[in-house]
Amino acid sequence: MTFHRHSISAQSFAQEVIAGLSSSPRTLPPKYFYDQRGSLLFDEICRQPEYYITRVEMDLLSRCLHEIRAAVPAHSVFVELGSGASTKVRLLLDALSVRRYVAIDIDPTFLLQSTQALAHEHFNVDVHAVYADFSQKFPPLPLDDFPVIAFYPGSSIGNFEPAGAVQLLRNIATFAGSGGQILIGRDCSTDRHQLEAAYNDKAGITAKFNLNMLERMRRDLGADIAEDAFAHHAFFNAPQNRIEMHLVAQSHCTFGVAGHQFTFQAGETIHTENSYKYPDRVFHSIVQQSGWHEVMAWTDSTQRFTLQLLST
């Protein structure tokens, strides 16, 4: 297994936090959820009964493996964006005779653990772990001359605004090259009740995950935010087709972070994440604008989740 490190500085964390908290409305980039604790919490979210997304996508992947195998070249490089626990890709590595697996993630500790475990189980796959932030320019990737298939599961494309999603897909097209493909998973549910339950699990794991952003600011940036100053809030914004996650100030408060002071009124929020549930029509337009074209699509029996194979 080979580890590639592309440094992500504590300085850019501080800069993005200060910029986000100074803006109106106040925001923090969701990529900063993922330190070691955040990654473990996300893994736990995937096991919550209300969080249908992982189960439905795994099931859909298993059921269409046959067709995916027929549509993609053998002996390819699989490049997973935001590989986390590398759970879903295991289904594909076995079935598709993948030559090389390149896992990209922003959390180096979880990335290393997950890819080491995977390399032990799949000794016929050449495993590369790339610690990088793909919301910036993609770093050079170990692709050699193998055909490239990008893998972007988990409906993580929904964390990007439409324009950001177009830009990301364009960047992927650049490294995938001519004939490159991407297999992308997208939650397209519009069931408010089910969506809000998924992002407000009864065990409170998503709440801990959201609040972990503040924990990280305390630890890495010396933020003096009181333990109970903010609470988790997630709701479906139907006109925008997205789940919004916020941290809501529980009372008037002032705190310092990286040499800056911020004051919040009671009820004021920090918007930490969007999860767009892109309908087919909107996603089709995103794909077209980014220069990809649709090869195949599979939707689960409840019409909540779509897997799509795109080609450059």
Ligand X SMILES: C[S@@+](CC[C@H](N)C(=O)[O-])C[C@H]1O[C@@H](n2cnc3c(N)ncnc32)[C@H](O)[C@@H]1O
Please tell me the count of residues contacting ligand X according to CB under 6 A. 20
- Amino acid sitting at position 1: M
Tell which one of 93, 106, 150, 172 touches ligand X (CB under 6 A).
106
Of 36 and 190, the one with the shorter C-beta distance to ligand X is 36
Of 133 and 215, the one with the shorter C-beta distance to ligand X is 133
Distance CA 297, CA 127 (A): 28
Distance CA 151, CA 134 (A): 13
The 29-68 site mask, x for binding ligand X (CB under 6 A), equals --x--x----x--x---x-------x--------------
Of 83 and 311, the one with the shorter C-beta distance to ligand X is 83
Of 104 and 286, the one with the shorter C-beta distance to ligand X is 104
Please give the DSSP secondary-structure letter assigned to residue 99: S
Of 54 and 312, the one with the shorter C-beta distance to ligand X is 54
Exposure b/e, 57-93, CB count within 10 A at least 16 = b? bbebbeebeeebeeebeeebbbbbbbbbbbbbbbebb
Q: HSE (CB half, 13 Å, CA atoms) of 257?
A: 28
Please give the residues from 72 up to 91 whose contact with ligand X meets the rule CB under 6 A: 82-84, 88
Q: Which residue, among 173, 163, 244, 287, has the nearest Cα to 306 in the 3D structure?
A: 287
- Amino acid sitting at position 233: H
Please give the residues from 139 up to 168 whose contact with ligand X meets the rule CB under 6 A: 153-154, 156
Q: What residues line the site for ligand X (CB under 6 A)?
A: 31, 34, 39, 42, 46, 54, 82-84, 88, 104-107, 133-135, 153-154, 156
